[in-house]
């Protein structure tokens, strides 16, 4: 890109112009570009990054409109230990968040950002989370010195002049400031992936009382695409608490029966635990169909009819590549067949991409995610475990017709889950709303590659929101509980806990997963409709063996027995572990959850 847009568009009005000028004075960029969100702008920035070596254009016959980027080895995932919630008090942030004094952190951020964009262009991105006519749509302005961020944000959010028009009409905006933290001295050559290489000097900072977001040093994923986890979850969850709705780490899908009846379901799983696969799955049972409204984030509000209505605030998928295959998720593969940005996967000799568990043979050779020659015999993975694809949601072949409905869709069920090799059954229905909130609060899962740190370790991840809740999680539990008092509880969604990952004594999965998970969803829908049986147990209502549609599935009877077994000894250990996780909240923990834990202990005997 050889030209720079005017320093400020004629349509920008105060206080936006004043804030951008303030940030420019602080960051000292070489130029300012106001993003209009156009296709021409997108293509120009992609071409600029090809020239700079940030992007590799993929073979247009195989991947039309697609590009590959490789990040710095230090910049590959969320850095939770460098993510801060700067509420007025430590108690407001709670024990699960890293808290910092807001006044001190603002001083630190100003020091970090002083001159941080020297030699670079400052991009001004007006973006909206959610359809602009949604009652809970939120508008942000992200300032960034990363064109990679701009093009990804264009896929992931509603970006450009249409959003700026709303600000000019009086809409409030959330300020979001981002820099890769790599200023250029005069004459200094740039690198393909500029960032702060020292993880201890990266900052992802949230000020929920403003609200505002500041991110420094990282150019990757949710650290830099500030509309995603930062705004859509950490800041939005805090705003939602004040305004009376919910911002959740949940997929939204619609399961349609052969008779044409629709059931809208939201589901919360930790990252890389099958959310995208479930959201887009091809059911293994004839006549049933799944369409997706979103694979990662759900904003949920109480409708005038007393039901909970959910919408996806994003417009794209930022999916984990490894494990995405024709078996696990053919619809995701179709969604990223064109107009997609791939990050940290293998480049094949014919200009295509490849990753582990893609379901196709590995290329004889290629370039790995670090830019080095690679072969299957190299002894290391070609794609980073947290490598990603950024694809427009509209390209998904099973995108739901209502996915951009400003009102959202009415939920009939909410699911929780995670990777649990033992104890947790295939499906478990809560006895009540309070029992369902207890299930969500007790979520645990094996850790994955989406966050830096050791993988395969069990950690409690309440509501799959541990890294994303922007305020005290005890207050978050109380907020969830409050919906039973705010509406007719009979109108609230039924709550379930599912586990596709239970293993037998031989270490192998007991359940086939993927499209066969529709069999569990069918049972859930039939439970909601009052047509499916369940067995009441100490931990909840479980499917009876006969109530699950297993037609055409060669599932050993012993597998089914174990999948629906109540492991009393395992559950007693679970109770002790949940009690330990609750203890950190002290007196702030809602009494209703303590009562649920005590009742479960009593039922188990």
Residues with catalytic annotation? 273
Contacts of 583 (CB under 8 A, 6+ apart): none
For residue 15, whether the previous peptide bond is cis, meaning omega lies within 30 degrees of 0, is yes
d(CA 605, CA 139): 51
> 3-state DSSP call for residue 560?
helix
Q: Which long-range CB contacts under 8 A does 456-459 form with residues at least 24 apart? A: 458/420
Whole-angstrom Cα distance, residue 23 to residue 296? 31
Evaluate the omega torsion of the peptide bond into residue 543 and state whether it is cis, within 30 degrees of 0.
no
R_g (Cα) of the chain, nearest Å: 24
Which residue's entry shows tokens 């080095």?
Answer: 372
3-state secondary structure of 290: strand
- Sequence-distant (6+) residues with CB within 8 A of 64 are 338, 339
CB 266 within 8 A of CB 485: no
Return the exposure string of 199-230: e unless at least 16 CB atoms fall within 10 Å of the residue's CB, then b: eeebbbbbbbeebbbbbbbbbbbbbbbbbbbb
**Parallel, antiparallel, or unpaired: how do β-strands 308-311 and 262-268 relate?**
unpaired
Is 46 in contact with 67 (CB distance < 8 Å)?
yes
Q: Is residue 404 a contact partner of residue 297, using CB atoms and an 8 Å limit?
A: no
Q: Of all residues in the chain, what percent are helix, strand and coil, respectively (each to 5)? A: 30, 20, 45
Burial (Cβ within 10 Å: 0-12, 13-18, ≥19) of residue 161: middle
Contact 264, 498 (CB under 8 A): no
Q: Which two tokens stand for residue 500?
A: 């596709």
DSSP 451: B
DSSP state string for 226-285: TIIIIIIIIIHHHHHHHHT-EEES-EEEEEE-TT--EEEEEEE--TTSSHHHHHT---SS
Residues 289, 291: Cα–Cα separation, whole Å: 7
DSSP class of 272: T
């Amino acid at each position: 890109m050889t030209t720079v847009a005017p320093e400020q568009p004629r349509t920008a009005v105060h206080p936006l112009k004043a804030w951008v000028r303030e940030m420019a004075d602080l960051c000292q960029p070489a130029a300012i570009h106001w993003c209009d969100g156009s296709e021409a702008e997108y293509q120009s920035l992609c071409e600029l990054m090809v020239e700079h070596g940030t992007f590799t254009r993929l073979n247009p016959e195989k991947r039309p409109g697609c590009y590959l980027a490789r990040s710095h080895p230090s910049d590959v995932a969320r850095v939770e230990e460098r993510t801060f919630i700067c509420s007025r008090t430590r108690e407001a942030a709670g024990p699960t968040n890293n808290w910092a004094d807001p006044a001190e952190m603002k001083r630190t951020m100003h020091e970090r950002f002083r001159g941080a964009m020297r030699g670079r262009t400052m991009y001004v991105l007006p973006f909206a989370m959610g359809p602009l006519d949604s009652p809970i749509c939120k508008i942000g302005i992200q300032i960034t010195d990363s064109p990679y961020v701009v093009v990804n944000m264009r896929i992931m959010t509603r970006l450009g002049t249409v959003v700026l028009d709303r600000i000019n009409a009086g809409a409030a905006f959330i300020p979001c400031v981002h820099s890769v933290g790599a200023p250029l001295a005069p004459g200094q050559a740039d690198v393909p992936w500029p960032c702060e290489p020292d993880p201890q000097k990266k900052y992802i900072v949230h000020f929920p009382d403003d609200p505002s977001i500041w991110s420094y040093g990282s150019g990757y994923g949710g650290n830099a695409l500030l509309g995603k986890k930062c705004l859509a979850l950490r800041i939005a969850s805090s705003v939602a608490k004040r305004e009376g709705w919910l911002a959740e780490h949940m997929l939204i899908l619609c399961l349609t029966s052969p008779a044409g009846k629709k059931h809208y379901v939201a589901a919360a799983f930790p990252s890389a635990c099958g959310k995208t696969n479930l959201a887009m799955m091809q059911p293994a049972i004839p006549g049933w169909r799944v369409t997706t409204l979103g694979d990662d984030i759900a904003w949920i509000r109480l409708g005038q009819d007393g039901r909970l209505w959910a919408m996806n605030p994003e417009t794209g998928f930022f999916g984990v590549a490894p494990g995405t295959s024709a078996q696990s998720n053919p619809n995701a593969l179709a969604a990223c067949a064109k107009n997609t940005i791939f990050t940290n996967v293998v480049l094949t000799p014919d200009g295509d991409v490849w990753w582990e568990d893609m379901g196709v043979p590995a290329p004889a050779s290629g370039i790995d995610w670090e830019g080095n020659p690679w072969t299957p015999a190299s002894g290391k993975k070609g794609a980073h475990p947290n490598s990603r694809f950024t694809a427009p949601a509209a390209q998904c072949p099973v995108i739901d017709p209502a996915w951009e409905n400003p009102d959202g869709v009415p939920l009939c069920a909410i699911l929780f889950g995670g990777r649990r090799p033992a104890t947790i059954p295939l499906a478990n229905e809560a006895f009540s709303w309070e029992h369902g909130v207890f299930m969500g609060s007790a979520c645990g899962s094996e850790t994955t590659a989406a966050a830096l740190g050791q993988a395969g370790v069990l950690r409690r991840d309440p509501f799959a929101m541990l890294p994303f809740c922007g305020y005290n999680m005890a207050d978050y539990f109380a907020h969830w509980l409050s919906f039973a008092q705010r509406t007719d509880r009979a109108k609230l969604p039924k709550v379930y806990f599912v586990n596709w990952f239970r293993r037998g004594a031989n270490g192998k999965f007991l359940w086939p997963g993927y499209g066969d998970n529709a069999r569990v969803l069918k049972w859930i829908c039939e439970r909601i409709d009052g047509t499916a049986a369940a067995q009441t147990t100490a931990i909840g209502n479980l499917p009876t063996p006969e109530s699950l549609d297993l037609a055409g599935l060669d599932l050993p009877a012993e597998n089914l027995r174990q999948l629906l077994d109540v492991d009393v000894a395992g559950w007693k250990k679970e109770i002790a572990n949940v009690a330990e996780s609750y203890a950190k909240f002290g007196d702030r923990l809602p009494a209703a959850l303590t009562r649920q834990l005590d009742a479960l202990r009593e039922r188990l005997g």
